[in-house]
Amino acid sequence: MKKDRVLSGMQPTGKLHLGNYVGALENWVKLQDEGYQNFHMVADWHTLTVDYEDTRQIHPNTLDVVIDWLCAGIDPEKSVVFVQSRVKEHAELHLLFSMLITVPRLQRNPTLKERIKDLHLGKNISYGHLGYPVLQAADILIYKADYVPVGEDQMPHIELTREIARRFNYLYGNLFPEPEGLVTPFSRMPGLDGRKMSKSLGNTILLSDPPEVLTQKVMSAFTDPEKIRLGDPGHPEICVVFAYHRNFNQPEIPEIERDCRNGKLGCVACKKNLIQKLIAFLEPWGEKRRYYEDRMDEIEGIIEAGIEEARQVARATMDEVRETMKIG
């Protein structure tokens, strides 16, 4: 029986943080272990939508991302790990898809509107940036993926991918499945300051942070401002440290919640407890990372093998696309 296929993608932002793990990676590993056929792609072309002036970090960041994937348990024996820009067929499919979608349709994309606002782009958005969900549709459909694990913000792009698949199938002949987005449940992971955890906001805990750095970061994390002394009753629902306990210290949640609210548990003790749990979780990570960092050839080898495998699938799809469209 043909296994259902999963395509997931992440931009090469460098060393990954806890938010990347809880929001995405943890789920990827679960899907791998449930027996789906997984393609994991580093979306390096997508990085150019914003960071196109200085491209020197893209390759080293790609390697850092792949190392963190492996540390999380992505197994290159089971899953294909590859880099978008090395499979040129994505670019050809992107070009063809770009004819099937209107500019106003792309401008209606809520995720893009938010990015334009956050980055203060106004009308200065590039042609490539406007079309980046079309490239994403090519990434997904070139592997005929059945499922795409994504954060909530990426769902509009999955919807667009489905529209493009339908339009192609209707115009030229039935070729593409309509993929489904798998939204990671409970994926909100606040940063140290309470905003969304994100590299650009400088509020992350890295999966590779050593214990001293981790300790110092957790000690500085945002807690309930109304809880000043030990006896003050706290509000765990607004506390970053509590959110982390929820993800990394589940069994103690009822007790922590109760004792924070009734003033028995102080923030320092609560943070120290969390630090212990996080160190236990991240310690093997550090060891694995050191292992891979000493074996960069192995990493390059895994990526090269993944690229070869991805290419075979992408080439076969493009043969079908050209045949179906009677061009090329």
Residues making contact with ligand TRP (CB under 6 A): 7-9, 11, 43, 46, 136, 139-140, 148, 150, 154
**At closest approach, how far in Å is the CB of 65 from ligand TRP?**
11
**At closest approach, how far in Å is the CB of 122 from ligand TRP?**
21
Is residue 172 within 8 Å of residue 325, measured between CB atoms?
yes
CA pair distance 64, 12, nearest whole angstrom? 8
Contacts of 146 (CB under 8 A, 6+ apart): 4, 5, 6, 177, 179, 180
**At closest approach, how far in Å is the CB of 259 from ligand TRP?**
38
Look-up of token digits 């002036």:
53
Quote the tokens at residue 19: 């938010």
CA pair distance 297, 299, nearest whole angstrom? 5
Is residue 74 within 8 Å of residue 21, measured between CB atoms?
no
SS3 category, 267: helix
Query: Which residue number, 85 or 136, has a Cβ lying nearer to ligand TRP?
Result: 136
**At closest approach, how far in Å is the CB of 46 from ligand TRP?**
5
**At closest approach, how far in Å is the CB of 240 from ligand TRP?**
23
Query: Which residue number, 145 or 278, has a Cβ lying nearer to ligand TRP?
Result: 145
Quote the tokens at residue 67: 């190392």
Question: What are the φ/ψ torsions at residue 134 (nearest 5 degrees)?
Answer: -70, -40
Question: What are the φ/ψ torsions at residue 59 (nearest 5 degrees)?
Answer: -70, -50
Question: Nearest Cα to 177, choosing from 204, 151, 196, 158?
Answer: 158
Query: Which residue number, 9 or 236, has a Cβ lying nearer to ligand TRP?
Result: 9
**At closest approach, how far in Å is the CB of 16 from ligand TRP?**
12
Residue number of the CB atom closest to ligand TRP = 9
**At closest approach, how far in Å is the CB of 154 from ligand TRP?**
6
CB atoms within 10 A of CB 194: 15
Query: Which residue number, 82 or 244, has a Cβ lying nearer to ligand TRP?
Result: 82
Query: Which residue number, 154 or 203, has a Cβ lying nearer to ligand TRP?
Result: 154
Query: Which residue number, 140 or 282, has a Cβ lying nearer to ligand TRP?
Result: 140
Query: Which residue number, 24 or 214, has a Cβ lying nearer to ligand TRP?
Result: 24
Instruction: For residue 144, give the amino acid letter.
Output: K
Is residue 229 within 8 Å of residue 220, measured between CB atoms?
no
CA pair distance 293, 295, nearest whole angstrom? 5
Quote the tokens at residue 221: 């994390």
